[in-house]
Structure 1
């Protein structure tokens, strides 16, 4: 494989195709080129790291830019609610290279394979759910002439790259593992050192699962966990618990490879990862104690309709504190509490301890005050008959004890009392389908795939508070 020279001249048709795709997403690309969004900074770090290993920087740049273009074709990160985003793809590539660079058993060619497989491991632009399917990824890679040209210019075997991606199947057990290994064995049938490349895929699998938690702070880790919870249709109350299970599976089921990867990473990255894991465990312990106290009636919750016009300073400060817990990817659907208008509804969730802080809130207002997700169509905009419910915020431990249901029921009842005919918001499709089955007067107005964060409307004339059980 040529190290000093890799053909970096794309065909004119390919270059024009990339240019057209950038025009489609011009606003995003302007922000990207100005270095405003995280992906741009992470791309720079990847290119510098790849160059330090000895990879051709122009070739690396072309590969990264093409992958980024493909991701922005299907969805823009500010609207997409899933876990398998462009940021995840870039984080996986960065951590894979960072670990490989310090691994004594890793060759230059191995590093090349890891870089490409990491960048492509979730490339399924036609996926129907958040989690891409490895078979669809293989079909996409084989059908994309630009990707194949770049792989060929790198002197690499596309079958090895695809086999490594199949090894990232998760969870890698039972039928999942059997089907993946059957395909891997076919792809590597004529490849020497087959076990080496299978292990390289396992290395990648561990890297891509720890990447975001190793690079970011705990706030970023919480965002990843919330995105993953949405993708898997988890209730918010189980996020900390399931995150702890996720990390334990790494420590146990992938013990050998996890220890290899984590010890390859620089100390500051390693320490950051374990600090984030520890915080999830602490959060789960605290959440369990709160839930047990509620169930044993040591803590009692109650919702309260707040008077926006006479909101005291302490309440406002607490609302702002809770709002700051809201991950950035949710804030496009919410307004800052610092900009409360008199026609907004605010329901807080409090406990019977007068000195305890507010533990949650539901907030919303006239639909016309909000900027909705792209491609959302609502025939009632301009009629001022609809209240929009922002993402509710409930502190861990209070969700599954009925806190969320209390807030939602009182918010809807108060909106109906104030004369609104409809309520709209966004929620996971499965959640909406369950509510419809229970008899709530809901219709899904706009469906969004692959993240299934759908826009719905509730007919308040037909709403009965007893429909929401606490």
Structure 2
């Protein structure tokens, strides 16, 4: 395990196959299912390049941790080989939503797919896997497991139990499979954070936030709530899962939990200081002398690197862009114009950027539009108005350069709120991210 350097390498096809073989689960159909699932995700654009939480890496992580934890003698739940085959199959397909209206899969769409796909059904049959049990296991991964969401899923689960010859009129076995589903649900939420260090955990949190269109100020807050809910309300099953995985993976998970809690404490401290007027934000237009300073550029790049990957425009030419006098730049400094740099706004002529080919901007090549890159701000300072101050200053800078329009990306709800206030208009909408391209007239 020490030779593996990344979570993706750890939860790889080869390692999954290795556990299957070492555990006596050598049916060729199980490996066929694995290869088929990988091909499905990649063919749907949900492979490693998809910047969303629910991609093939996550699916393999759930499958790997499921096998790792259920196939060990440390696990006190005494899983049978039949149990493991069913959990394995459900783990492989639990997030494959061919409709993909949003990043978070719709369980009913997943079930519709596996019920109608002849290849999947044939492989399940060869592996002696009951379709209805797999369906109910997937339904039990529904989150949150409360309120109407739970009630709808439970009704479907009851239908699965009634349809399966294994569980029909067998309350004891139904309860057994409900526990297996609960187990898979907890693995689903623990696995990614157990496979890597805190840097990896933060990447996962940002991927999830980007895919669910969360404001950056919510990332840490909701991550802490996520872990607290898991550890406080599902402590029994969490203990079963965590006690059955290797020490290093348990350590990774709890390091992630503690690190997010530490960040949340820091956020609250910053918010309190801001509320008490002990700190203030100073948007600053930087001189070209400063913009050519390597230390200044390095500081900005560190902040830039905190953005989710899809929001990082041309990282390879970042330094060059900072030095370019045609690029509009301002920073947000702490307390005064020479204070610590907390963030920055950057952009330039629309023609300087290569945008998504799905964007048809009628002003492209007319040299009348400035493109504002996504605002970059240090973690902990989102939601306090600093971004708005930088954006306002950027608009003023664009005015002085005689641009007629400004375009950028923002969350759909944010753009909607600007339609009346700034006469913003949608130019292109993107799903499932809901991170859309808009235009305002300057």
Report the Cα offset of residue 259 of structure 1: 0.9
Aligned residue for 1:457? 439
Worse overlay, 205-214 or 311-320: 311-320
Shift of 1:240: 1.0
Alignment match, 2:239: 259
Matching residue of 2:408:
425
Quote the residue 2:302 is aligned against.
321
Normalised to the residue count of structure 1, the TM-score between the two structures is 0.84
**1:191 aligned residue:** 166
1:397 aligns with 2:380: yes
Preserved contact between residue 74 and residue 125 of structure 1 (Cα < 8 Å)? yes
134-143 or 223-232, which deviates more: 223-232
- Of residues 133, 143, 152, the one that matches 1:160 is 133
Of residues 275, 284, 288, the one that matches 1:304 is 284
Corresponding residue for 1:286?
Answer: 266
* Shift of residue 53, structure 1, vs aligned partner: 2.2
Alignment check: 8 A CA contact 1:334 1:390 kept: no
Q: Which residue of 1 aligns with 2:23?
A: 53
* Residue of structure 1 in register with 2:108 after alignment: 135
State the Cα distance separating 1:260 from its structure 2 match. Answer: 0.6
Q: What RMSD in Å do the two structures reach over aligned CA positions?
A: 2.4
Q: Distance in 1 between matches of 2:267 and 2:261?
A: 10
- Describe how 1:233-382 pairs up with structure 2 within 5 A: 233-308=213-288, 310-311=290-291, 312-331=293-312, 336-340=317-321, 341-352=324-335, 356-382=339-365
Gap change, CA 1:188 and 1:445, over 3 Å in 2: same
Query: Per-residue CA shift, 1:28-56, capped at 9, x if unaligned?
Result: xxxxxxxx994897233322233322333
Tell me what 2:3 maps to.
none
Report the CA distance between 1:419 and its aligned residue. 1.9
Deviates more, 1:118-127 or 1:41-50: 41-50
Does 2:61 match 1:91? yes
Whether the aligned pair in 1 keeps the contact of 2:100 and 2:432 (CA below 8 Å) is yes
CA–CA separation in structure 2 for the residues paired with 1:350 and 1:55: 59
Whether contact under 8 Å (1:168, 1:204) holds in the other structure is yes
Q: Map 1:63-212 to 2 at 5 A.
A: 63-75=33-45, 80-102=50-72, 103-104=75-76, 105-189=78-162, 190-192=165-167, 193-212=173-192
Q: Distance in 2 between matches of 1:435 and 1:354?
A: 29
Taking the aligned partners of 1:194 and 1:37, their CA distance within structure 2 comes to 34
CA displacement at 1:357 relative to structure 2: 2.6
Distance 1:226 1:296, change over 3 A: same
Q: Per-residue deviation at 1:129?
A: 1.9
Q: Offset at 1:392?
A: 1.6
For residue 159 of structure 1, report the CA deviation from its aligned partner: 0.6
Q: Distance in 2 between matches of 1:77 and 1:435?
A: 34
SS in 2 for 1:106: coil
Deviation at 1:286, TM superposition (A): 0.7
Counterparts in 2 of 1:246 and 1:50: CA distance versus 1, 3 Å: same
Cα deviation 1:63-94 (Å, max 9, x = unaligned): 23322332233335577443222222121111
Would the alpha carbon gap of residues 255 and 287 (structure 1) be closer, same or farther in structure 2, given more than 3 Å must change?
A: same
Deviations 1:298-355 (A, max 9, x none): 1111111223465233321211221232343433565653232332122111011677
Cα deviation per residue 1:224-249 (whole Å; 9 max; x = unaligned)?
Answer: 22232234443211211111110000
Instruction: Indicate which of 410, 415, 421 corresponds to 2:393.
Output: 410
Shift of 1:387: 2.1
1:446 aligns with 2:428: yes
Counterpart in the other structure of 1:222: 202
Give me the whole-angstrom Cα distance separating, in 2, the residues matched to 1:390 and 1:60: 46
Query: Alpha carbons of 1:375 and 1:346: their partners in 2 closer, same or farther (altered >3 Å)?
Result: same
- How many residues were matched structurally? 424
List 4+ stretches of structure 1 deviating above 6 A. Answer: none
Q: TM (normalized to structure 2)?
A: 0.89
**How far apart in 2 are the matches of 1:258 and 1:81?**
27
Unaligned segments of structure 2, at least 5 residues: 1-5, 168-172
SS in 1 for 2:128: coil
